[in-house]
Structure 1
Amino acid sequence: MTANYQSATPRSRPTVNAGKLWAGGAATGVVAALIAVVGILIGRGLFGVDVLAPKGAGVWGDASTGWYALGAAVLSLVATGLMHVLLLFTPRPMLFFGWVMTLATVTAMLAPFVTEHDFGSRFFTAGLNFFLGVAIGSLVAGSAHAAMRPAPVPPAPRPYR
């Protein structure tokens, strides 16, 4: 039989440099928006696949290209906010963040398959959503690692003499 003893002093948690975390989140938003624009340009320009807009809208598309890029940037900021909350309040923040990002990415990849578009459009959009999910998840997690400061170590009690 084993006993589980708790320390008299509570374990201190690492602190979060919020400025560094949110700067990384903003940079992730810019990267995600650019990935969306480049992905749509590749899909429409190189492969002739309809991604969010009808083919008649041209390679640059219409306002939906901007909305897709803006949505990717906003979701990056939402992921940063989620990471900040997880860092402050959960016991294993990176584990929970990984699960949330994986499930959100799978959901974003499955979403195009409930539409009535052709298979090429569905697969390309799912691939673009996968790439965006991986980029956002890895960049926000990297920013979180860089923004964490180690917990201060309390001094060891001095032995009695």
Structure 2
Amino acid sequence: MTMEYSRYDGEPQLAPASPPPPVIDMRRLWGGGLATALVAALVAWVAVLIARAVFHAELLTPESRGLTRASGTTLYVISAGAGALIATLILLLMVALTPRPLAYFGWIIGLITVACAVLPFTVEAPLLDQLLTGFANLAVGLVILTLLPKVGYSTIRPGQPAPPPRLQ
């Protein structure tokens, strides 16, 4: 382990200032997140329609349980939109806590997308249903992965540097 020493020459030494935190336009961030959620939900709904109309197959969607009485398709579409809103929250946390927020965000959402695309193959179902569900999950993930970083670029501004301290 190497120790570094600085020489004191009578002048006060100021520690290098860390960059100021970025300024986030929250209204535009969550507006973009809501728009992304709408697009993701529509992509999921179109995927359900294509699976049924073109392939005469069903996506592997959650079953209706309990008080909601919502269909599996409705829950699937709502889940896609909710996933985009959760991704918006992840983007906000990355901006607030990490030095390269969009890089970390891309890795996190990319890996979640891959996991969701592979997930249908972990249950016993017809291969066509597994393939269509995997592609639908991939499409929803790619929507989120391509739209939200653009929202991030347009809503994140560098912070204003703090004024230098006055020496008396």
Q: Is the 8 A contact 2:60 2:130 kept in 1?
A: no
Aligned identity (percent) is 31
Determine which of 109, 112, 121 is the counterpart of 2:129: 121
Aligned length: 147
Q: Is the 8 A contact 1:52 1:65 kept in 2?
A: no
List aligned pairs for 1:51-90, cutoff 5 A: 51-52=59-60, 63-90=71-98
- Larger gyration radius, structure 1 or structure 2: 2
Kindly provide the amino acid, as one letter, of the partner of residue 123 in structure 1. L
Determine which of 45, 52, 68 is the counterpart of 2:53: 45
CA deviation string 1:102-129 (max 9, x = no partner): 1101110111001111111111110111
TM-score, length-scaled by structure 1:
0.82
TM-score, length-scaled by structure 2:
0.79
Q: What is the deviation of 1:150?
A: 2.7
Q: What is the deviation of 1:89?
A: 1.0
Counterpart-to-counterpart distance in 1, 2:18 and 2:136: 45
Determine which of 77, 93, 107 is the counterpart of 1:99: 107
Determine which of 97, 115, 118 is the counterpart of 1:110: 118
Counterpart-to-counterpart distance in 2, 1:52 and 1:11: 47
RMSD, aligned α-carbons: 2.4
Counterpart-to-counterpart distance in 2, 1:80 and 1:35: 18
Structure-2 residue corresponding to 1:144: 152
